[in-house]
Structure 1
Amino acid sequence: MKAIVYTKYGLPDVLHLEEVEKPTPKDDEVLVKVHAASINDWDWQLLQGIPFVNRLMAGLLKPTKIRILGCDIAGRVEAVGKNVKQFRADDEVFGDLSGCGFGGFAEYVCARENTLALKLEVMTFEDAAAIPQAGLLALQGLRVKGEIKPGQKILINGASGGAGTFAVQIAKSFGAEVTGVCSTKKMDFVRSVGADHVIDYTQEDFTKNGQHYDLILDMQAHHSIFDCKRALTPKGVYVFIGGTDARAFQAIFLGPLISMIGNKKMGLLLHKPNKGLAFMKELLEAGKVVPLIDRCYPLSEAAEAMRYFGEGHKKGKVVIIVEHDNAT
């Protein structure tokens, strides 16, 4: 089968399309014929081997444990292991493979049964592949960690990205008043997603404008955790999802301390792959959430897709389409 392989850390030019052995499912696994996969921040970080903690998972000096990136996939079940109960051949499925080895940038991948869900019939493979990690990061940040409630004022920093666009829509579905933070060129896009208010971070600092929010979902943390605390209401909640290593360190170690000495809660979301996927399907089926895809690339152009993703210009998700000839 064809797959996008990397054998050293670096920028997208280290990615290569190669012929590799087609995997065989274990007893509790499903073999999926991949039709689409999407790029997430985790893929971008693993490509470069940053932060260093990712190397503990992929390989210290080079990626020996994970050689094929891609955690969000959608496709058709090709075969199932003897212990698999939920799926059968030809089922259309999607899911997040970050908990079982990645491998989505390929024609086929094996996944544990509990990492997959049936795709909605009305959903394309491209749409389905855009959902699992980005959508559930947003859902878990708002619903589990943030305990979102109707009528709350919510700020989403990084509202134009994959998880950000899901977060805006999910927050609106809960009846929140949503403020999105993005760059100048993306303001109209974020409004079109459903944000009630939009802040251009190149012109205005949301931590200094005097506004206060019941919940801040931070996808692109560049502000000090203390600055973000200032922008919260007296019982507000701050949830770190993505950003610089320094800000992640603050969220991990200072967030719990700040939470202990006051009514404001601050911390980091520990992503749980596929948790909440059934609820996400309900939102999708009701039309309350729609995957927003910026660009699609064929598997052979995965390096270019990753390059575009890394430039930071995307609006929503970047998806890789896997086409199959009759021989595969």
Structure 2
Amino acid sequence: MKAIVQDVYGSVEVLELREVDAPVPGDDDVLIRVRAAGVDQGVWHLMTGLPYLTRVVGYGLRKPKTRIRGRAVAGRVEAVGRNIVGFRTGDEVYGTCEGSFAEYACAKEGRLALKPKNLSFEQAAAVPISAVTALQALRNAGRIQAGQEVLVIGAAGGVGAYAVQLAKAFGAQVTGVCSTAKTDLVRSIGADHVIDYTHDDFADGSRQFDLIVDTAGNRPLTVLR
């Protein structure tokens, strides 16, 4: 099969399109014929090996442990392991795995879901990582409640755009922070208020928020408080 492979850490120049052996599913695996694969910030971290903590936590100290890039996937089930009960050959699925930038990829059953019929494969492949990250931030960590004031920093990014829409779905009043060029986009996805960080400081004390989702994570906690 064809796949996007890297042997060393680095910039995009280390990625190569090659012919490699197709994965063989184990008893607990689902083999997917990939129709679309998502790209998110995590792919860049795994490609470059930066920050170095990425390597320490198990992705390979000197070189990538997993040579095929890509984690978000959408496609059709080609085969299932003997312990798989939730999917069968031909199902259209989406979710996460290792090595989705290839014609075939293996995923664990718990990391997949049936693809909604009203989504294309390309749309579904954009959901698993960015949308789930936003959902975990709002629901699991932030314990969002209807009527709360929620601030989303980086509201036009992959995670931020989902955070704005999900916060609205939870019934919150949402303020999005973004650059000038993206204010119209953030308004179009449902933000009640938009702050252009190139002109205004969201932390000037003029407004208070019940929950702040900082997708970049590069502002001191003291500023957010």
The CA deviation at 1:221 is 2.4
Of 191, 197, 205, which aligns to 1:195?
Answer: 191
The CA deviation at 1:53 is 1.6
> 1:87-102 alignment to 2 at 5 Å?
87-97=87-97, 102=98
SS at match of 1:43: helix
Q: Which residue of 2 aligns with 1:109?
A: 105
Q: How many aligned positions are there?
A: 224
Runs (4 or more) in structure 1 with deviation over 2 Å come to none
Are the equivalent residues in 1 in contact too, given 2:96–2:107 (CA < 8 A)? Answer: no
CA–CA distance in 1 between the matches of 2:185 and 2:127? 19
| 1:145 partnered with 2:146 | no
Partner letter of residue 51 of structure 1? P
- Higher-RCO chain (CA-CA 8 Å, sequence separation at least 6): 1
Q: Which residue of 2 aligns with 1:71?
A: 71
> 1:231-270 alignment to 2 at 5 Å?
none
SS at match of 1:213: coil
Partner letter of residue 73 of structure 1? V
The CA deviation at 1:47 is 0.9
Are the equivalent residues in 1 in contact too, given 2:29–2:84 (CA < 8 A)? Answer: yes
Coordinate RMSD, CA, aligned: 1.0
Partner letter of residue 187 of structure 1? T
Q: Which residue of 1 aligns with 2:8?
A: 8
| 1:157 partnered with 2:153 | yes
Q: Deviations over 1:271-309 (max 9, x none)?
A: xxxxxxxxxxxxxxxxxxxxxxxxxxxxxxxxxxxxxxx
CA–CA distance in 1 between the matches of 2:212 and 2:76? 38
Partner letter of residue 203 of structure 2? T
Partner letter of residue 36 of structure 1? A
Q: Which residue of 2 aligns with 1:42?
A: 42
CA–CA distance in 2 between the matches of 1:147 and 1:83? 35
CA–CA distance in 2 between the matches of 1:204 and 1:69? 38
Q: Deviations over 1:73-105 (max 9, x none)?
A: 0000001111111111100001122xxxx1011
Partner letter of residue 202 of structure 2? F
Q: TM-score scaled by structure 2?
A: 0.97
Partner letter of residue 62 of structure 2? L
Of 113, 118, 131, which aligns to 2:114?
Answer: 118
Q: Which residue of 1 aligns with 2:27?
A: 27
CA–CA distance in 1 between the matches of 2:218 and 2:200? 14
CA–CA distance in 2 between the matches of 1:194 and 1:132? 21
Q: Which residue of 1 aligns with 2:208?
A: 212
Q: TM-score scaled by structure 1?
A: 0.67
SS at match of 1:69: coil
Gaps of 5+ in 2: none
Partner letter of residue 195 of structure 1? A
Q: Which residue of 2 aligns with 1:84?
A: 84
Partner letter of residue 133 of structure 1? I
Comparing 201-210 and 176-185, the one that deviates more: 201-210
Partner letter of residue 173 of structure 1? A
Gaps of 5+ in 1: 230-328
